[in-house]
Structure 1
Amino acid sequence: MAMKIRLARGGSKKRPHYSIVAADSRMPRDGRFIEKLGTYNPLLAKDSEERVQMNVERVQHWLSLGAEPTDRVARFLEAAGLREKASRANLKKGEPGKAAKARADERAAKVAAAAEAAAAPAEAPAEEAAAE
């Protein structure tokens, strides 16, 4: 059985509250779970101690049995010092979208055209002076 330590959503619409649970990976997100390990309340301030609460001993127990934490739970475990920090590479984060790339290309073309236009009249008087 593939075990996961993940979040199960609770709360009403636009007021989320999550439980950190150990569950079989085949079960639905808010479905059956084996054990509740803690809570996560994203509405609280980031520096609040009540934002993420975990039963550390039980989390370590499930990790020792081979349970895999999801990405978000893994970040919570890194913050708590239960797991070494993983290197993440979001290579597309700094890359602009299609529309932004198109605008940048148009802007570069306009700048290049303006530079050519500015350079052409400056060369013409120099050529006339050389001809005389």
Structure 2
Amino acid sequence: MVTIRLTRGGAKKHPFYQIVVADIRAKRDGRYIERIGFYNPCAVGGETELRLDRERAEYWLNQGAKPTERVSQLLKQAAREGLESAPVAA
């Protein structure tokens, strides 16, 4: 089974999360299939808080991928804010 979830990066007390599509058996920060965005909860000033390739997210959802609770909230937030479907550099 495939899931859309967050992987943690960043420094201690300053998290930065990648939004990835991964096999459910993979570790949290382990191997993933595709990176479709990022979420920066500590964004300040002109920094981008959320970037998401909505086309790829829709593709994976149509293929049967299950998002986690937090990723579901981020997908709704992206749709509400009308974030452009910007490809994420690898």
| TM-score, normalised via structure 2 length | 0.81
2:67 to 43, 66, 69: 69
Where is the helix percentage greater, Structure 1 or Structure 2? 1
> Computing the radius of gyration over CA atoms, which structure comes out larger, 1 or 2?
1
Q: In percent, how many aligned pairs have the same letter?
A: 48
* Aligned-pair CA distance for 1:49: 7.4
User: Greater strand share, 1 or 2?
Assistant: 2
Question: How many Å separate the matches in 2 of 1:9 and 1:41?
Answer: 10
Hey, what does 2:79 align to over in structure 1? 81
What residue is the counterpart of 1:34 in the other structure? 33
- SS at 2:16 equivalent: strand
Q: Which has the higher contact order (CA 8 A, sep 6+)?
A: 2
Corresponding residue SS for 2:32? coil
**Aligned twin of 2:51:** 53
C-alpha RMSD of matched pairs (Å): 1.7
1:12 maps to: 11
What TM-score do you get using the length of structure 1 for normalisation? 0.56
How many aligned positions are there?
79
Secondary structure of the structure 2 residue equivalent to 1:79: helix
Question: Offset at 1:78?
Answer: 1.3
Against the structure 1 CA distance between its residues 43 and 23, is the aligned structure 2 distance closer, same or farther, given a 3 Å change threshold? same
- Please report how far the alpha carbon of residue 15 of structure 1 lies from its aligned counterpart in structure 2 after TM superposition: 1.3
- The ranges of structure 1 where at least 4 consecutive aligned residues each deviate by more than 6 angstroms after the TM superposition are none
* Counterpart-to-counterpart distance in 2, 1:9 and 1:66: 24
Partner of 2:20: 21
Secondary structure at the aligned position of 1:80 is classed as helix
Segments of structure 2 that go 5 or more residues without pairing to the other structure are 81-90
Q: How far apart in 2 are the matches of 1:73 and 1:15?
A: 19
